Amino acid sequence: MAKSRQHFSSQDSSSSPTSVRSREWEGPSRWAEYLGPEPTSPMTSRTSRNAGPDGQIQSSGGSHKGLNMQWVVQLTEVAEGLMAKMYRLNQILDYPDPVGHTFSEAFWKAGVLPNHPRLCLLLSKKFPEHYSKLQLERVDKVALDALHGNAELHLQSLEPWVQLLLDLMAFREQALRLILDLSSTVITLLPHQNSLILHAFMDLFCSFVRVNLFSEKIPRKMMLQMYNLLHAISRNDRDCDFYHRLVQFIDSYDPPLKGLKEDLNFVSPRIGEVLEAVGPIIFLSTDTRKLRNEGFLSPYHPRYPDILTNSAHPMRAQDLANVTSYREWVLFGYLVCPDELLRVTSIDIALVVLKENLVLTLFRDEYILLHEDYQLFVLPRILESKKMAKSGRTKQKEADLEYSVAKQVEKMISEVHEQALLSCDAIHRERRILLKQEIGRMVLFFTDQPSLLAPNIQMVFSALAFAQCEVLWYFQHVGIASSKSKAVRMVSVEIDPSDPTIGFLLDGMDHLCCLVRKYIAAIRGYALSYLSSSAGRIRFLLNTPGMVALDLDASLKSLFQKIVQHLENIPKPQGENVSAITCDLSEFRKDWLSILMIVTSSRSSINIRHLEKATVSTGKEGLLSEGNAAYNWSRCVDELESQLSKHASLKKLYFYHQHLTAVFRNTMFGPEGRPQHCCAWLGVASSFPECASPIVPEEVTKIGRDAVLYVESLIESIMGGLEGLINILDSEGGFGALETQLLPEQAASYMNYASRMSITSNKSPKGAPGFPLPGHESRPENNASIKMLEAAVQRLTNLCSVLNDMEPICVLNHVFVLREYMRECILGNLRRRLLAVLKTDNDLQRPTVLESLIRRHISIIHLAEQHISMDLTQGIREVLLSEAFSGPVSSLHLFEKPEEQHTGSATEAVCNWYIENIIKDISGAGILFAPIHKCFKSTRPVGGYFADSVTDPRELKAFARIFGGYGVDRLDRMLKEHTAALLNCIDTSLRSNRDVLEAVAGSLHSGDRIEREALIKQIVDIDTVIGFCVQAGLALAFDRLLAEAAGTVLFEGAPLIHSLLAGISKHIPEEIPEKKEVRRLRGVANNVGVVDNHDSQWVRLILEEVGGANDGSWSLLPYFFATFMTSNIWTTTAFNVDTGGFNNNIHCLARCVSAVIAGSEFVRVEREYQQRQSLSNGHVGESVDSEIQNRLSAEASIKSTMQLFVKFSASIILDSWSETNRSHLVAQLIFLDQLCEISPYLPRSSLEPHVPYAILRSIYSQYYTNSPNTPLALLSISPRHSPAVSLSHASPAARQPRGDSTPQYDSGYFKGSSSHGQEHIYDGGSSRSTENRQQNFRRSGPLDYGSSRKVKFVEGSTSGNSGPSPLPRFAVSRSGPISYK
């Protein structure tokens, strides 16, 4: 603390008014903290910090003048640093309101001031009274005691901010002295004569006003009073050294405008002159019609476009570039120098500017309410002048004019607020529209005529400055609430958040800046040529008689000679090497400023008026005009980027980036939005980090982070818009409307209705609602939808093209490449779209519909891909693969990945749905497998569709096309897992009932019926196991259909691979045990349906994988299956002619019995062989023969086991028949016949000894002849609609024995067959129909026993009713839908 007190003490001594005046040149060192190592303002490069020999101007006041100009620029920088510190303090203190004494909870927790609100508020409110007079112990004794304990700590936290108060006081004293000095010594401050010094002077003036107005927003009184109290507590009641001076400073600037008026009263007339001088330019800038008609912002004549010259004066274009500064000068100038409003011309100038503004920006996003302050501080002064003029009316005539003007000003200030609230947004919107049009034309013109860019560069700067001002105004006024003068309520400004002109302005500015940077070499070349030519003109002017007669002193003459030398030494641009020329003209500019400092000083013997009179008589530009023009063009050589930054930088938008994001989202994809504008919205962020002040180091990190978040937020919005465009095209109202198709039945019915309609009728047919009449697309009222599609396509392609061509966005060390974001967005949207369309509102989407939706979406991506320089097709494949392959991604690669990312969510969802709803039927929809139709049916919808709508072969083919081999494998694996669980249940039941089954087997062989029935009743849960077996049969049937669909898709997509698998499958070695490679090849062939014996091979693979059928109890399997004939399930079983199956899927039990017996026998034989091999000595020569023998023995074992099952099943069926119990008989007999049809190892002849063919023939004859649509059935030979039952009968003795070459079950329903040489009829849609016809010589159709009669009975009924029983003697009992007469 001692050190800091000494520091403050020294500051106190050095910052006293006398010290500042006597030690003025110690000023820069006083502000070292605020002046960075490199000058940030272009003006600082014009003068050296320390006056060297070249900087000493040997004339009266010359040296002093030069140093003053340097100090002007530096003090302007100091003002920026002071405001940055105050801004940071405001942030820390959560933006307090010291005037209203309103402080938030965060204010007290910030750690700057002690958290004792009562004490702090009292000290602040009683300012400037000394704390000793306030009796603080009575206010808050506890807080005062706490302060005594922590005084040192609180002092340390307050010290840097009290130092800020000291800096503000010192700045006020030094800046005010400099302003007064310049005002009193500079001869002219008119823009057309002395613009360079004028801008420096007014910049300092405005900075001075800003700093003091901003200081009101920090709790100055509270900080000073609390610091002094803490200082007194720790220093024996002694005030700090600077306390009384700071109290006087703060009190004199409370409110700040009071102190500013008093301090700047002396310079008020000069300010009034300046504001009057810039009035014409301000009037011009507000007259949009004149700007447009006279072409002030057009590179060509507005009325004669062929004349490629600008009709506006070039100096006027340069003045328009400064109009933003001029407006600020007016607002600040009349606010602190209200007397200048009493000038006759000032009323109009102030009115124009006040009418289009509601706020006056101080620093960044801090502002004051403009009209409120004018009414509070300016209006009273005007009223006072009016009163004085009224009282002096009889004394002087001028008082009448003064009174009249004061009255007009009073009226203007009173009314302009209301006008501004109503009209400011409309004024600026009109100006934005003008700039949108002019900049758009400018971009097109300079793109087409780049050679004219350089001569018109000042006009480009003017357009950029105009646009910059309008964009900043828009965001500065978003959300502003202003109080009306006559009412207390706040009125918000009506700013349209969806104004599309903002995007156009940002895009136009971006294009203009790109053009300037692109042709920077041409601009530099033009500027160098201009400077070279101006050297001769200046030399000529220096040698005119008028100049010679002036008799310049040596120092001024040497400076003019230096100027000429600088210009003559400029390198001449030759050919195309302009970009290689390096030219530093800072010394030229410094010398020219030195000349201006001398000739504009009242202390100089030669001033600006002398030079103008001496040179303007030549009829050309005067010397100063030539020099100023050369000065401006020199900045286009080596400071073009800084010029561009000054006029086009939008870095201040950082402080409104939340509004920026909101407006972007409202306008980007609106009706007038343009996709190409997104580049400009994103590019703005690159300049955000430039807002960080070096005085506050932590700002760099915060602003950089916010800039990155802004870019990410905009990219998210852009990608959301891109997704929206794609999804609009992918919707039913988009391309979906062009794909509307009717089913053939709908189309026929609809056309029938349409043909009956009157030609003049415009209504849709009454019987066909929802479908418009043919030709409706051509009607004019439907053009809007087509135009919407065209607009969406155009916008999508434009956006893709723009994003593809956009340069990377660099924000600090972050680089955003929009092309990559676009790729991820499109592919991510495809993935989400795929997952979204999998399910409808009710349930699973039909695979064919899903396939069409995916193809439509992919076609839109391919449309976008034409405008993107990257391969999206590969990405589409990756997405589909990741959603189809359900497993760790590393399994698809040869290398190991550290993390296994599981994918295939889409496949998982579809496969789970099929397992749960079709195989397990958890919804109880009554799923039935229809062998005739090769699909599953349901009694009520499963979700949104009936089961046949999602299991039809066409649907399964679509599933295979969507998810490919990985999807088919996944569904196959899930079916295997489910079937394995069911087989495990069979295994468990076999083990638990082994003893009983052994006894049952003995009784069956012995023929003891009574003992057999008693033993069968001891078997546990027969009906449950039957249900498991039926479900396993459903899984077998589904997998068979899936394999056929996969094979068809493979044949369509890769016919060579399909033919290769089909050919290999015929020559796979028939050996047991199979080698690993052979087993794998057989499994692949089985999965694509080129292996005939699908079911048994499938079960065999399952048992081998899970190690099933490894127990001796499996030898009892045929006996166990035979006991199923005693189940009560047969009493409710009925055959359905329409489906070719039973009403409770018992036909799937036949499929399960056949496959499980065959598969388990293969596994048993293979296991026995392996056991023998392990026990033998391994004779190699016998291995081949033994393998073939094993195969033959396995097939023989399967046949014998199947025949055993049929024998005992028939025995149980016929033994259980009686007059009182015969309802089950028909269903069981048909079941056995179906088993013979399904199993390749069970010829029909094996059923003849047990069930005579005449009975079966009679059963089928009755079923089909009693079908309602028999005549139609007789005309049809399609096995898709009929089991093709032949009524011929032949002796079973004439049958050929079935050997290994017997073709296996293929088509999934009963196949009609003929005599020995007759071709078998298969499904016409099968890809293997011809081959199957050639292979099939089996004469075992359900009832095809001879060649004399070949009439085939097919069912044509759609009612699903069962026919009458063929056994007329069973007339008593009825069971289910089958009636027995």
pLDDT higher at 43 or 213: 213
* Cα–chain center distance at 464: 31
Please say if the pLDDT value at position 27 is more than 80. no
Q: What contacts 200, CB < 8 A, 6 or more positions away?
A: 43, 69, 72, 73, 76
Q: What distance in Å separates the CA atoms of residue 1363 and residue 1355, rounded to the nearest whole number?
A: 10
Name the DSSP class of 1075. P
Per-residue model confidence as pLDDT tens digits over 725-749: 888 888 877 777 676 666 666 667 7
The per-residue pLDDT for 316 is 65
User: For tokens 């088509």, what's the residue?
Assistant: 1307
* Average pLDDT over every residue of 429-433: 91
Q: What contacts 862, CB < 8 A, 6 or more positions away?
A: 872, 873
* Cα–chain center distance at 484: 42
* Average pLDDT over every residue of 298-324: 68
Segments in 1123-1252 forming alpha helices (H): 1146-1175, 1183-1215, 1225-1238
The per-residue pLDDT for 1187 is 57
Q: Are 86 and 210 in contact (CB under 8 A)?
A: no
Strand partners, 936: 929
Per-residue model confidence as pLDDT tens digits over 334-361: 999 998 888 888 889 999 999 999 889 9
Name the DSSP class of 1159. H
Per-residue pLDDT band at 1299 (split at 50, 70, 90): very low
Check the CA dihedral 108-110-112-115 and report its sign: positive
pLDDT higher at 1323 or 26: 26
pTM: 0.74
Closest CA to 655 of 677, 687, 682: 687
Q: What distance in Å separates the CA atoms of residue 1264 and residue 1364, rounded to the nearest whole number?
A: 9
Please say if the pLDDT value at position 1045 is more than 70. yes
The per-residue pLDDT for 541 is 83
**If phi over 0 gives left and psi between -120 and 50 gives alpha, with beta otherwise, what is residue 575?**
left
Q: What distance in Å separates the CA atoms of residue 729 and residue 723, rounded to the nearest whole number?
A: 10
Per-residue model confidence as pLDDT tens digits over 62-117: 344 444 678 888 899 999 999 999 999 988 888 888 888 888 888 888 888 888 88
Please say if the pLDDT value at position 308 is more than 80. no
Between the ranges 15-19, 411-415, 922-926, where is the mean pLDDT highest?
Answer: 411-415
Per-residue model confidence as pLDDT tens digits over 179-188: 988 888 888 8
Strand partners, 928: 937
* Average pLDDT over every residue of 793-820: 86
Q: Report which residue type is found at 1233.
A: D
Between the ranges 142-146, 615-619, 1280-1284, 1300-1304, where is the mean pLDDT highest?
Answer: 142-146
Between the ranges 306-310, 450-454, 890-894, where is the mean pLDDT highest?
Answer: 450-454
Q: Are 1041 and 1050 in contact (CB under 8 A)?
A: no
Per-residue model confidence as pLDDT tens digits over 181-208: 888 888 888 887 788 889 999 999 999 9
The per-residue pLDDT for 8 is 38
Q: What distance in Å separates the CA atoms of residue 888 and residue 899, rounded to the nearest whole number?
A: 9
Average model confidence (pLDDT) across the chain: 77
Segments in 866-952 forming alpha helices (H): 872-884, 905-913, 948-951
The per-residue pLDDT for 768 is 47
Q: Are 480 and 492 in contact (CB under 8 A)?
A: yes
Per-residue pLDDT band at 39 (split at 50, 70, 90): very low
Per-residue pLDDT band at 410 (split at 50, 70, 90): confident
pLDDT higher at 1348 or 211: 211
The per-residue pLDDT for 1048 is 92
Say which range, 7-21, 483-497, 1111-1125, 1219-1233, has the weakest mean pLDDT.
7-21
Per-residue model confidence as pLDDT tens digits over 931-951: 888 888 888 888 777 888 888
* Average pLDDT over every residue of 1102-1115: 82
Please say if the pLDDT value at position 487 is more than 70. no
The DSSP H or E segment spanning 96 is: none
**What 3-state DSSP class applies to 285?**
helix
Query: φ, ψ for residue 929 (rounded to 5)?
Result: -90, 125
Upper half-sphere CA count for residue 203 (Cβ side, 13 Å): 21
Beta-carbon count within 10 A of 40 CB: 14
Closest CA to 934 of 1091, 1136, 1140: 1140
Closest CA to 1264 of 1366, 1142, 1118, 1146: 1366
Distance between first and last Cα of the chain: 118
Per-residue model confidence as pLDDT tens digits over 755-795: 665 444 444 444 445 556 656 656 666 666 777 788 888 88
Please say if the pLDDT value at position 1317 is more than 50. no
Q: Are 1142 and 929 in contact (CB under 8 A)?
A: no
Per-residue model confidence as pLDDT tens digits over 545-597: 877 777 778 888 888 888 888 888 888 766 556 666 777 888 888 888 888 88
Q: What distance in Å separates the CA atoms of residue 630 and residue 624, rounded to the nearest whole number?
A: 10
Closest CA to 139 of 122, 124, 163: 122
**If phi over 0 gives left and psi between -120 and 50 gives alpha, with beta otherwise, what is residue 604?**
beta
The per-residue pLDDT for 1282 is 33
User: For tokens 């709803």, what's the residue?
Assistant: 917
Please say if the pLDDT value at position 126 is more than 90. no
* Average pLDDT over every residue of 1162-1185: 68
The per-residue pLDDT for 579 is 60
Q: Report which residue type is found at 858.
A: I
Say which range, 291-295, 571-575, 1001-1005, 1363-1367, has the weakest mean pLDDT.
1363-1367
